[in-house]
Amino acid sequence: MVKVGIVGGTGYTGVELLRLLAQHPQAEVVVITSRSEAGLAVADMYPNLRGHYNGLAFSVPDIKTLGACDVVFFATPHGVAHALAGELLAAGTKVIDLSADFRLQDAEEWAKWYGQPHGAPELLDEAVYGLPEVNREQIKKARLIAVPGCYPTATQLGFLPLLEAGLADASRLIADCKSGVSGAGRGAAVGSLYSETSESMKAYAVKGHRHLPEIRQGLRRAAGGKDVGLTFVPHLTPMIRGIHSTLYATVVDRSVDLQALFEKRYANEPFVDVMPAGSHPETRSVRGANVCRIAVHRPQDGDLVVVLSVIDNLVKGASGQAVQNMNILFGLDERLGLSHAGMLP
């Protein structure tokens, strides 16, 4: 049984971790922290978890207690894991970070996009980017895993087959992405109010979103180190969960069977579903599930390829992918605790 600690358990990714781990046969959450809610029973804050975590209450973070765990998840704002990860690693505890603290390999670039100095640059070299479809072997041997962001997960999985095969013009990629409001987190903000988001949709951060350097870093790796020209435009949509990425790339060889290419690339990936030719995946089909559904199109049989990629931003885009990483890290069946279907309607 894997003993699990969670730092920052009151936000959306924290409670999603609790929901998924409640049905995991080989994991037990033994400590969950929150400075603001210390002493409060988990089931009192989240009644959907009643009967699953009897006796478990939020506590103030303590290195000794957390260091007794096999693995600690950080479901915290950016910068928090910087302060604690090193001490936990020194205690022999594995760290899986859901924030962006260790996703970027360049500390200066991280500081530029996140507006503060990187607090643990000495750990960047060993941090493994936790996209299983790319780094499964490295994840198996990791001590510190950086769970990819939601937009980066949907976007990279959609572009990877084209870039790895050298088919896409890497200098002209476009990612037109839509997200549900839960992607903004649980904190109160005017922009996330129901009356502000309902019956409306808007683009934001067109000049530059924090996920842009993370996406470019992954796509550059897929393209064999070539520079990548990416235009990334995120949108906020009036739904709670979901990411829909519409991806555009120009192909250099029209003769390639793109459907076969995508099916072959993801044939052995348990959480990527390449849909039949002509499909249009819906975000509701992955709601609550750790699945990325992909469809590939070539309108009018031209050289422009359109890839549709959908995920649940809180599951495959965050907590589910974190649990998937934990399973790989501890040599468990990758699907444990994650094999449930999406929720319809």
* Residues acting as catalytic residues: 150
Cis peptide before 345 (omega within 30 of 0): yes
Q: What are phi and psi of 267, to 5 degrees?
A: -60, -35
CA distance to 42, 236, 302, per residue, from 77 (Å): 20, 20, 44
Dihedral sign from CA coordinates of 41, 45, 49, 50: positive
DSSP-assigned beta bridge partners for residue 94 = 71
Q: Kindly give the residue spans of alpha helices, DSSP state H, lying in 1-125.
A: 12-21, 42-45, 63-67, 80-90, 107-114
- Angstrom distance (rounded) from CA 254 to CA 3: 51
In the chain, how long is the greatest CA-to-CA distance? 63
Q: Which residue has the tokens 């069977």?
A: 257
Q: Which residue has the tokens 């709601």?
A: 287
Please count the CA atoms within 13 angstroms of the CA of 99 that sit on its side-chain side. Answer: 23
For 200-242, strand residue ranges (E) read 202-203, 230-236
Q: What are phi and psi of 102, to 5 degrees?
A: -125, 15
The H or E element that residue 58 is part of is strand 58-59
Q: Is residue 19 within 8 Å of 49, Cβ to Cβ? A: yes
